[in-house]
Amino acid sequence: MTAIPFVRSLNVKLILALAGTALAAVALASFLMERSASSEFRSYVMDQQMMEQHMGGSTPRMDQMMSGPMMGTREDAFLADMRQSLWISGGLVAAAALVLAVILARQITGPVRRLAAATTDIAGGKLDSRIENTGSDELGQLGQSFNSMAATLQRQEEERRSMLADIAHELRTPLSVLRGNLEAMLDGLLEPRHEQLSVLHEQSVALSRLIDDLRTLSLAAEGHLELHRQPTDVAELARRVVGEMEAGAKEREIALSVEAPESLPRPALDSDRIGQVLRNLIDNALRYTPASGRVRVTVRPQAQRVTVTVSDTGAGIAREDLPHVFDRFYRADGSRTRATGGSGLGLAIVKQLVEAHGGEVRAESDPGRGSVFSFALPLK
Ligand code: ADP
């Protein structure tokens, strides 16, 4: 169906539809009223005339009964008057309907136009565009949904930018150490001795760990992380990871212990990934706990899940930092944690890996006295 060019505007379409319907209704009503009023009036005049003849003693004539009432000038004037009033009131109602149609059409097309303009803004990258005075009808609800969609897009874009800046920042430090040292060696300013090379090796290990962490995070965020699930004894896994980290704890003079029942239900887990979760949590606990402190790993069965807790007697986390510690690149107390070498990705990975298993993570802390990180894994 080809559209008539001037009827392409939604405004005109709505006015035509609303005013057209009102006009048709008024015209039909006027026509029917005029017809029934004049026929009623004619039969009234006829009855009057027959009654007059009857009272005058004459019998009504058959031809008169057939041809209808004798209409005089007064009767004709009355009928013409009535017709005129009907068409005038019909015209007034039609004019009012037209005005109402214009107002109504504007009320509908105004928000639609604002929505179209804001959508064009968003498509052009102006993500702070919003619709004001949305109102509470269906179009208002559409406007509110649009606003919240635009806010989400804006937040995601800001997160993407800040993440890019963070990645660039994290890559720069090890790369500049590597580059500076290598250039000094090439220029003969620094001898490639064992300790020099081991610094460079450490930096390259940090770089590849950062890249691995970023890859794990992006795969998990997109839901593409492959999990090789096997029925796993979580207590056994915790003992193994604690065993691996015992030497490091001893070096820092921290008592590292594990508390787990002998027999536990065996949830289907990717033991490498959950091992990584445990390693990240224990590594943090050891890093943020001073010498002669304690780090305890506890495994407990609960209704339909297994809960693992890593608690320490370390520095703890300030109340305002606690809700953010699972965010990417978040470091509570930047100077302290930067010195310890963390990238701020460890807990973000913990959260993503646990959630990929359908579980949940929690962090509690008593600043100055220690922290408790726990995660729960569903049995099914
Ligand atoms: P990082 O690599 O910097 O340790 P994480 O994501 O593992 O990054 O942790 C985020 C921040 O949470 C850390 O920078 C640190 O400030 C805080 N944090 C994590 N675990 C602990 C803990 N056990 N005790 C105190 N602070 C902690």
Q: What is the pLDDT of residue 10?
A: 83
Which tokens go with 34?
């005029």
Ligand 1, atom 2, lies closest to the CA of 342
Q: Which atom of ligand 1 is nearest to the CA of 316?
A: 25
Torsion angle of C-alpha atoms 322, 254, 354, 336, degrees rounded to 10: 40
For the Cβ of 109 lying below 6 angstroms from any atom of ligand 1, the answer is: no
User: Residue 195, by phi and psi: left (phi above 0), alpha (psi -120 to 50) or beta?
Assistant: alpha
Distance 105 CA to ligand 1 centre (A): 58
pTM: 0.69
Q: Which atom of ligand 1 is nearest to the CA of 337?
A: 14
Torsion angle of C-alpha atoms 46, 50, 51, 56, degrees rounded to 10: 140
For the Cβ of 232 lying below 6 angstroms from any atom of ligand 1, the answer is: no
For the Cβ of 297 lying below 6 angstroms from any atom of ligand 1, the answer is: no
Distance 244 CA to ligand 1 centre (A): 20
Q: Which atom of ligand 1 is nearest to the CA of 370?
A: 24
For the Cβ of 367 lying below 6 angstroms from any atom of ligand 1, the answer is: no
What count of other Cβ atoms lies within 10 Å of the Cβ of residue 104? 14
Q: What is the pLDDT of residue 6?
A: 59
To which residue do tokens 């998990």 refer? 220
To which residue do tokens 């726990």 refer? 374
Closest CA to 377 of 281, 271, 284: 271
Give, in order, the Cα–Cα distances in Å from 175 to each of 38, 73, 180, 308: 100, 110, 8, 37
Count of residues in the chain = 380
Q: What is the pLDDT of residue 186?
A: 94
- CA atoms of 308 and 356, how far apart (whole Å): 16
DSSP code, position 323: G
Three-class DSSP category at 198: helix
Distance 344 CA to ligand 1 centre (A): 7
Q: What is the CA radius of gyration of the chain?
A: 43
- CA atoms of 268 and 232, how far apart (whole Å): 6
Q: What is the pLDDT of residue 184?
A: 94
**336 near 177, Cβ under 8 Å?**
no
Q: What is the pLDDT of residue 256?
A: 97
User: Which of the residues in the chain have pLDDT under 70?
Assistant: 1-8, 59-68, 333-341
Q: What is the pLDDT of residue 1?
A: 47
